[in-house]
Structure 1
């Protein structure tokens, strides 16, 4: 999808509504701006929908104690 847009006051770039809607962009979302050669690329920063793993604080402490023990460190 291509559109010609204009740079506004204070160098603001406005993303057309249909493009923002198609990418599910909302006010306050963050974009990475990449400049390469004579091109500008905008890439949405997405929050992960799922984390790789979930662990409890007790599990973190247990692993920390195991590491300290294997290194001979007194906790």
Structure 2
């Protein structure tokens, strides 16, 4: 997986680091430390792939753009484990 902050924001239709931070339930300063075109932390990539399987394939590649991330999804914790 090599999801970048830029590709994730495009795929999810997010305008800012603050929006991305809310998805993870972390501060925008933390997301601000990630380079725009560098891979985001591995656990965050797995979290996104689990939470938005319609947007990212199992290898972390973007397969769709513009997900409807409703307010009920923002900041929701995701349990990662085998299904």
Question: TM-score if structure 1 supplies the norm length?
Answer: 0.25
More helix as a share of residues: 2
Question: TM-score if structure 2 supplies the norm length?
Answer: 0.24
Higher relative contact order (CA 8 A, sep 6+): 2
